Structure 1
Amino acid sequence: MPEIQHPAPEDLRRDPRPLLGRTALVTGASRRGGIGYAVARRLAAYGASVYLHHHVPHDAAQPWGADPEGPEGVAAGVREARSDPGAVVAHGPGDLTDPKAPASLIATAAEALGGRLDIVVANHALSGSDGTLDEIDADMLDAHWATNTRSVILLAQAYARLRTAQPTRTPGGRLLLMTSGQDQGSGMPGELAYALAKGALASATRTLATTFADLGVTVNAVNPGPVDTGYLTGEVYDTIASMFPAGRWGMPDDPARLLAWLATDEAAWVTGRVIDSEGGFRRG
């Protein structure tokens, strides 16, 4: 039996910039009120260079609307959080319902970040255009599948091919997915198409973790629970807030802290997991 090796004392001290020199793609980072923006700021604060993907038409069609300062305003907020002044913060559009768009996005992000991509955070999602079992139709199901599931798997495929083609694989490869608590409590009967699409990602997480293991990449999914991204107000908002032990909604930076930690070497032994980050949310 080999002797147990413990880390040296200096290796136990927390590095304030654990992602220094690494590169990351964050999808769905279109507005400063969203989780993608919060994640990107955390990664930049940890030292990473970041490419922000956005699809402004989706937000513009929602009740909350597009960010008033546009993608460059979002990027400016991420640059402000950088701990490494030399880190790159770039951004670009992409309609990921186009089957060719995920591979193009991976290539574009890698090129913008110096030819390498270490971390992929698949944060984008389709909101709305959904309903109960009686209300959904084929178009709703197809739309959620195309955005929330198919595009993520195609991103994973392109990322795997990029890692395979690299002559030297750098450590710290990460693929981070987002689910929505569709398997908790009574599920999401009012958003069936969304729940099905996100559930497929949760189901695929372990398989993807096995697939990526030889590429030096861990794969995990995070369920952030209800997060205040500006989509709900009034009495319903207060009712949901009361379902948290802390009496408040999750804020975008709450799941962002977990996602950023999963991107660091401290989480190198965590893979194939769906992790709830819900602040003790009590579902009915």
Structure 2
Amino acid sequence: MDDPLTPASPTPPRGAVAYDFRGRVFLVTGVSRRQGIGAAIARQLAAAGADLVLHSWSPHDGERPGLADPDGAAAVAAECERLGARVTRVSADFADPSAPSQVMAEAVSEHGHVDGVVANHARDGGGTLEAIDAAELDLCFAVNARATALLVKEFAAQHDGRPGGRVVLFTSGQHHGGMPGELPYVISKGAVQQMTASLAVHLAPSGITVNCVNPGPTDTGWADAAQERWVRERMPQGRWGTPEDAARLVTWLLSDDGQWVCGQTLDSEGGFGR
């Protein structure tokens, strides 16, 4: 696996230049680590001409051994600036119920308008039924589900009806099979998937599409050797997903080509477990 602390090249990511996002501003949440999905999305959008608001909350990454990337948010922002993007960084803990409105307010203050939101952030709290407690359940719900809903609310409130309004949410694969060791995460991410269709129906008349992505097992540096092997054996293509795989789908959904896809949960997981 790649070293999560190794900076990526500022060379435009493969496929990104197929889109033209000049004049558009996207808020991407959960951009704390250079090896993460959020970072890959930010690079794709920057290479396609977008300006960016990049949200991060690095203390969460520091809770997991081997995943801390203290300078990651700044490094990703610098990469995107080298690709030509105007970048605003915002650090906020989405466990705070006021954080979504504060993040959107700063984005609008700096850029005037936000054209799309990619809610990539997540608290990945684990635990079996026997081990879970109310505190972790509440925290995962607050960060993963509540903050996502409130962020979409704030985005919709500032949207002025111009073409290209986009929301992309992130879920996990619990709708295809059980994940009994990660119940707080699974329950909260299931809520994100379930809110997608209702938000899409409500916001479509305002020119905003809402979709949800399940990126499947993605190599962002979190798996040990046994997990890496177990997943790879169940991948028909013989490899894990990469952050760039998810980023390509998100970029397409944000583009004009994705305007007729609305209210869907899209599985981008290479046929995992099929």
Using the size of structure 1 for normalisation, the TM-score is 0.87
1:125 aligns with 2:122: yes
In 1, Cα distance between the equivalents of 2:32 and 2:260? 31
CA offsets 1:151-171 (integer angstroms, 9 cap, x no match): 0001011111111xx3xx321
Counterpart of 1:231 in 2: which secondary structure?
coil
Q: 1:199 to 1:23 in 2, by over 3 A?
A: same
Using the TM superposition, give the Cα deviation of residue 68 of structure 1 relative to its aligned residue in structure 2, in angstroms. 4.7
8 Å Cα contact 2:34-2:73 kept in structure 1: no
Cα distance, 1:79 vs. partner? 2.4
Q: Matches of 1:15 and 1:232 in 2, distance apart?
A: 31
Q: Once the two structures are superposed, what CA deviation does each residue of 1:206-249 show, in whole Å capped at 9, x if it has no partner? A: 10001111221000000000001100121221121111111111
- Following the alignment from structure 1 to structure 2, what is the Cα–Cα distance between the partners of residues 180 and 261? 19
Alignment partner of 1:205 is 2:205: no
Shift, 1:69, TM fit: 2.8
What SS is found at the alignment partner of 1:177? strand
- The residue aligned with 1:108 is 106
What CA distance in whole angstroms lies between the structure 2 residues aligned with 1:244 and 1:137? 33
Moved more, 145-154 or 236-245: 236-245
2:150 matched to which residue of 1?
A: 154
Flag the 1:68–1:196 CA change in 2: closer, same or farther, 3 A: closer
In structure 2, give the amino acid aligned to 1:153.
Answer: A
Q: Is the 8 A contact 1:174 1:219 kept in 2?
A: yes
Is contact 1:18-1:265 (8 Å) kept? no
The residue number in structure 2 matching 1:10 is none
Tell me the number of residue pairs that the alignment of Structure 1 and Structure 2 aligns: 259
In structure 2, runs of 5+ residues without a counterpart are 1-15
- Aligned with 2:168 (options 157, 161, 176): 176
Unaligned segments of structure 1, at least 5 residues: 1-13
1:228 is paired with a residue whose SS is coil
State whether residues 37 and 78 of structure 1, in contact with CA within 8 Å, keep that contact through their aligned partners in structure 2.
Answer: no
**2:61 counterpart SS class:** helix
Structure (1 or 2) with the larger CA radius of gyration: 1
Secondary structure of residue in 1 paired with 2:90:
strand
- In structure 2, what is the equivalent of residue 73 of structure 1? 75
CA deviation profile, 1:258-282 (whole Å, cap 9, x unmatched): 0010000001000000000000101
2:66 is matched by which residue type in structure 1?
W
Work out the CA distance in 2 between the residues paired with 1:223 and 1:17: 22
Match of 2:62 in 1: 60
**Contact 2:67–2:221, Cα closer than 8 Å, also in 1:** no
Aligned partner of 1:103: which letter? S
What TM-score results when the alignment is normalised by the length of structure 2? 0.91
SS in 1 for 2:166: strand
Distance in 1 separating the partners of 2:187 and 2:262 = 23
Q: Which amino acid is 1:34 matched to? A: G
CA distance in 1, matches of 2:67, 2:241: 21
8 A Cα contact 2:193 2:212, kept in partner:
yes
In structure 2, the partner of 1:89 is: 87
Report what 1:4 is aligned to.
none
Separation of aligned partners in 2, 1:103 and 1:235: 41
**What amino acid maps onto 1:267 in structure 2?**
G
**Could you say which residue in structure 1 is the equivalent of 2:8?**
none
